[in-house]
Chains A and B, each alone.
Chain A
Amino acid sequence: MGWEPIRKRRTGPVEPNLVDYERVYAGFSWDEARSQLTGLPGGGLNIAYEAVDRHAAGASRDRGALRCRGRGGHTTELTYDELRRATNRFANVLRELGAGKGDRVATLLGRVPELYVTAIGALKNTSVYAPLFSAFGPEPVRERLRLGDVRVLVTTPQLYRKRVAQLRDSLPALEHVLVIGDDPPAGTRSFAEAMARAGDEFTIPPTSPDDMALLHFTSGTTGKPKGAVHVHGAVLAHHVTAAYALDLHAGDVYWCTADPGWVTGTSYGIIAPLTHGVTVIVDASDFDSHGWYEVLQDERVTVWYTAPTALRMLMRSGAELAKRYDLSALRFVASVGEPLNPEVVVWGQEALGLPVHDNWWQTETGAIMISNYAAEDVRPGSMGRPIPGVEAGIVTGDGDGVTEVGDPEAVGELALRPGWPSMFRGYLHDDKRYAESFVDGWYLTGDLARRDPDGYYWFVGRADDVIKSAGHLVGPFEVESALMEHPAVAEAGVIGKPDPVVGEVVKAFVTLREGHDPTEELRAELVAFGRRRLGAVAPKEIAFDQHLPHTRSGKVMRRLLKSRELGLPEGDTSTLEVGR
C-alpha cells in the first residue's frame, strides 16, 4: 500500500453533512430523502423548479445563483430570481418555436451564462436538455445531433460556422439554431433577440419524476456513441450526493471546473449546486494555473470540484505557486473523471492544506455513486465507499450470469444494484444495449475494481477498450471510423496510451492502402485530418503499422496493440490472427 490514510480532525468551519458513515448508510432511504425537495406546486417533480424557482420564491431570491467570469475579465452575476426570469424567457422562446415536451434541445457552447439559461429553460418547458462538448469536431457533433433527434441547438456564430453549417443538410430534424452574439449566420437566429421578445413569466407544466429530462452522450467500445436518458426524478440523487460527497451547505461558493459538455458539467455544474441554493462560479477561461488559483482566491471559493488532469497540471506548477494565493476560504476539494493517484491526494494536503476527495460515477449513473467524505478518513488512491442509498458490489462472470466476488481484494467488475433515482432509463434508440447492461439484478459498469476489507473501493482499469483522456471517455470505434474515411487508410486501431498528466492520450495505429507510403507528410496529414473531423477527441499520435493484429473474426485487437505499446506480455493470443 505505502500510503497512510489521511485522518480527519473535526475542526472545520462547518459541521459536515455526513458525520457517521456507517450509521447514515444503514438508515438511509430515498423515500425519506424526498422531503429535502419541494415538488411542483401542483404536484410532480421538475429539476428546474428544485434548482431555481423554489429558491427564487423564498429567502434566497436575491442571492447570487451564477457568477460567470468572462474571458475579457467582466463578470455577469445572476441572482436566483434573475435566473428564474431568464429561464422562464427561454422556456417561452422554446414554446414559441413549437418545441415541447420531450423535444431535444442541445447546446454546443463553452462556459457562458446562456448555457445555464438554456439548460434550465429547456427543463422548465419539459423539453430534454442535451449538452455537446464544444471542442468536438463536425463528425462527433453530427453523430450526436442525429442520434439525439435534436430539434433546437444553441451555439455561437463561430462554432456554427466551423462545426455545424456544413452538416445542416444531413440533419433534417434540426429545425432551429439560436446563436449567441451579433450577426447570426444564415440559417440561424439571434438568441438575444428571441429572449428579448419573450415574456418572463412561465408556469412549469405538470412533470412526472419519470419524464425524460436529460440526454447525455457517452462512448462505448464498439459502435457509435450512446445517448443515456435521464429523468426529472434524478434531481433527488443530484441533491443528496452533493450534500454527502461534496459537503455542500447553503451559503457555499462552489466551483465545478468540468466542461459543461459532459455529464459532470450538468449534474454538478448546474443542477446539484443550485438545488442547494449555493452560488455557482463559472469561469470561461481555459486552464491556466495562475488563473485557477486567482478564481479560488478572488471568488472565495469554499467547495471545489475538479479533475485529476487539472490537479496534476497544478501539481506540475509546484506547491509554491499555490501558496502565493489566499485560499483560506476553501473548505473541501473533490475530484472525478479518472482515477486519482495517491500523490495528488497528498499534494493537496501540502499545497492547499486539504486532501483531495476522489469519487466515482459515470454518465449512466447520473450522480456520484462511490465517494470519499468530508468527515471520514481518506485512503489515498481509493475512490471511497458507496453513497448512502447506493449498493455496490464486485462481480465476476460472463454473458450467462454474474456472481458477487466473496474474497476481499479480488478484482472484478464494479456493479450497482438498480434503484437509485438518477439511474439512466435507456440508451436512446437502443433498447438491446440497455438491456445488456443489466445482468442478474446488477447494473454492470464496465470498470474493474476491488474492495478492501473495510469496504473502500479501488479502481483497477476498464473492462473494455474505452479510452479515458483528461476525464473524457473516448470511443475507439468512433476515432477509427473517422480515420478510415481518409483515402490512404485501409484500417485503424485506436488505443489509450498512458500519460502522466491526462491519464491516457488517444493513439492510432494505421494500416495504409497500397500505393501510399508511410511518410512524415502523410502522418501530419492524418493528424490534421483527424483534428478536422473529430476535434478534441482526435488522435494525438499516429503510428503506421502494416500488420495490425486481428482476432479470428477479423477485428483489430486493441488490447494487444496496447500491451505492445506498454511493453507488456501479450497474454493469451489464442484467438489471434497475425497479419493477413
Chain B
Amino acid sequence: MTPDEAREMIRAALVTVAPDVVLDEVDPDADLREELDLDSIDFQAYTAELARRSGLAVTEDDQRRLTTLAAGVDFLTRARTHC
C-alpha cells in the first residue's frame, strides 16, 4: 500500500466515527484523539474499522501506536510490504 492509499483508508475509517473529519487539517504527529475529540469508544471503533478495511489484525500493542496519523500510515504501508 502506498502512503496515499494508507491515508485514504485512514480517512475512510475515521469518517465512520467522526464524519466531519478533514484530514488535511490534522497534524500527522498529533494525537488523533485530541485533535479530533475522539473518546475511547470512538477510538476503538476507528481501529476496528481500520482492521476491517485493511484485513490486518490490530493487536492491543498496535492500537497503542495508532494514535497519530503518521503512525497509522506507517502501520498500513509497512504491514503490506512484509507479507
Contact = CB atoms under 8 A, between A and B. Distances in A.
Interface of A: 71, 135, 286-291, 309, 313, 317-318, 321, 470, 499, 501-502, 505, 524-525, 527-528, 531-532, 535-536, 540
Contacts of A536: 37, 39
A509 B49 CA distance: 23
11 contacts: A286-B33, A290-B64, A291-B64, A502-B41, A527-B18, A527-B19, A531-B20, A532-B20, A535-B37, A540-B41, A540-B42
B60 A525 contact: no
Given A288-B64, A317-B60, A321-B60, A470 B18 contact: no
B40 interface: yes
Contacts of B71: none
Contacts of A502: 41
B70 interface: no
B41 A470 contact: yes
Nearest to B42: A540
A287 B40 contact: yes
Interface of B: 15, 18-20, 31, 33, 37, 39-45, 60-61, 64
B37 A531 contact: yes
Contacts of B40: 286-287, 309, 313, 470
A198 to B, nearest CB: 30
Contacts of A525: 19
B13 to A, nearest CB: 13
A71 B34 CA distance: 11
A535 B41 CA distance: 13
Which of B18, B20, B39, B60 gathers most chain A CB within 10 Å?
B39
B19 A524 contact: yes
A188 B41 CA distance: 33
Contacts of B43: 286
Given A288-B64, A289-B60, A528 B37 contact: no
A135 B37 contact: yes
Contacts, number: 46
Nearest to B61: A290
B48 to A, nearest CB: 12
Nearest to B40: A287
A317 B37 CA distance: 24
Contacts of B64: 288, 290-291
A436 B42 CA distance: 37
A286 B42 CA distance: 12
A290 B59 CA distance: 12
Contacts of A313: 40
Contacts of A71: 31
A286 to B, nearest CB: 5
Given A286-B33, A470-B39, 12 more contacts: A135-B37, A286-B40, A289-B60, A290-B60, A290-B61, A501-B44, A502-B41, A524-B15, A527-B18, A528-B18, A535-B37, A536-B37
A470 to B, nearest CB: 7
A502 B42 CA distance: 11
Contacts of B20: 528, 531-532
A107 to B, nearest CB: 17
Nearest to A520: B19
Which 3 interchain pairs have the tightest Cβ spacing?
A: A528-B20, A524-B19, A528-B19
A574 B83 CA distance: 61
Contacts of A291: 64
B35 to A, nearest CB: 10
Nearest to A291: B64
A113 B45 CA distance: 31
A489 to B, nearest CB: 16
Contacts of A286: 31, 33, 40, 43
A318 B61 CA distance: 12
A158 to B, nearest CB: 8
B51 to A, nearest CB: 14
A420 B37 CA distance: 38
Nearest to A136: B37
A321 B41 CA distance: 21
A502 B15 CA distance: 21
Nearest to A521: B19
A465 to B, nearest CB: 20
B41 A505 contact: yes
Contacts of A499: 41
Contacts of B44: 501
A263 B67 CA distance: 29
Contacts of B33: 286
B39 A135 contact: yes
Which of B41, B42, B61 gathers most chain A CB within 10 Å?
B41
Nearest to B15: A524
A531 B18 contact: yes
A387 B21 CA distance: 47
Contacts of B60: 289-290, 317-318, 321
B53 to A, nearest CB: 16
Contacts of A528: 18-20
A531 B14 CA distance: 13
B17 to A, nearest CB: 8
Contacts of A501: 41, 44
Contacts of B61: 290
A241 B51 CA distance: 44
A361 to B, nearest CB: 23
A135 B41 CA distance: 13
